[in-house]
Structure 1
Amino acid sequence: MALSTHTTSSGYLLPSIHSAPPFFTQQPNSSTQAVVTEHWTRIILGYARHRRLFFLRIEDAEVAGGDWDEVFRNERINRRLLPDHLQTILASMAGKSQAVYEPPKQTRAVLLYWRRPEEWAEVLHTWVSSTGHMNTIMTFYEITDPPVESPLSGIPEVLLRKAIAILAKTGRAQMIGAADGDGVRFFASGGK
């Protein structure tokens, strides 16, 4: 079978390497495995961005019909990514700050950085500015579940907190603690 690209049912274009049977197998040669891991990393981050998926668990390699099934399985060549191979890929991603283990102190689930926290901080600040919420206190819920879908819709709280912390360091946001939940005030530039 010739290598060819493939568009998943969700509309994501998989590269031709996804149709190569060895791509789904952990390679004994470390330099070959490094190339395979790099390709998998690009596919995982691209697909996560395409589908707005933030988390990936080792178990996702085993779940038929799950969010990741159309990437981790290739029925045309009867191959699937095995959990051990995925664990190696996730360890590499975590080592390169393309993902972080979430929750911390375990190695079976990651928060994917298809946008780094610094990029999310800029997206957040731009969105707040465009919605006219500068100098007002917003709840996390208002940010992650706005009435009109935004680039921040559904962002996990742990990632939102990282983005806010980055803005706070530059004086563009201030965390506000309240009995009924945390909020944040945003500023146009580095002044309160």
Structure 2
Amino acid sequence: MASTSFSPYKTASGFLLPSIHSAPPFFTQQPNLSTQITHTAHWTRLILSYARHRQLFLLRVEDAETSGSNWDEILKNERINRKLLPTHLSFILADMVSKNLAIYEPVRQTRSVLLYWRTPEEWAEVLHGWADSTGQLNTILTFYDIVEPPVPSPLVGLPLTMLRKAIAILAKTSRAQTIAVADGEGVRFLSGNTTR
């Protein structure tokens, strides 16, 4: 009988799981603090790289409790009959929030996070670059125009919380200004000056 090898494994979505994902103890919260710190760092890297690969922004504790979520490929390993327990995922998410790699979304709860696989500053640069490359500087755009554009962009599905943070960063460098529009919030991107 062939044993499960500790080697990288490619998922159905094309994501390459690291070899540690084949180790049963990886799915268990460890009593030894230094071991748990190491495992949490591995889980954090895995979650953020998978989120970037799949363009996922939110991770909820419920994703470890139910089958069929976008996160099944990494929160479960059926080859070794293991899955991440909700309490362990909650611990990992709290650690990510404490390190500013995620924020609780919505606020005032601890079961759902917005992942920072790109920081708000990085999203600000992506956002401004998109506006510039699509010829939309000095054009008033609704938030909907940005996150649901007619042509696919890296901003598709970007949560409004992250969009607002990115716009606020651009506004500080005079590269964006928010504008009230009839059907909600809007923004005008400016060529601006990146120096103050």
> TM-score normalised by the shorter chain: which range applies?
over 0.9
Partner of 2:183: 180
| Candidates 158, 161, 165, aligned match of 1:162 | 165
Stretches of structure 1 lacking an aligned partner (at least 5 in a row)? none
Stretches of structure 2 lacking an aligned partner (at least 5 in a row)? none
| Candidates 2, 14, 21, aligned match of 1:11 | 14
Kindly report the root-mean-square deviation, in angstroms, between the aligned alpha carbons of the 2 structures.
1.0
Deviates more, 1:57-66 or 1:108-117: 57-66
Q: Report sequence identity in percent.
A: 66
Which stretches of structure 1, 4 residues or longer, exceed 6 Å deviation after superposition?
none
When normalised by structure 1's length, the TM-score is 0.97
Query: How much does 1:71 deviate?
Result: 0.7
| 1:43-74, Cα deviation, whole Å (9 max, x unpaired) | 10011111111000000001212111111111
Q: Does the alignment pair 1:26 with 2:25?
A: no
Aligned length: 191
Partner of 2:70: 67
Query: How much does 1:179 deviate?
Result: 3.6
SS in 2 for 1:177: strand
Query: How much does 1:178 deviate?
Result: 2.6
Partners of 1:180 and 1:7 in 2: CA distance: 44
Partner of 2:148: 145
Partners of 1:19 and 1:86 in 2: CA distance: 17
Counterpart contact for 2:142–2:181, Cα < 8 Å: no
Deviates more, 1:137-146 or 1:15-24: 137-146
Partners of 1:180 and 1:86 in 2: CA distance: 38
Aligned positions of 1:41-190 closer than 5 A: 41-190=44-193
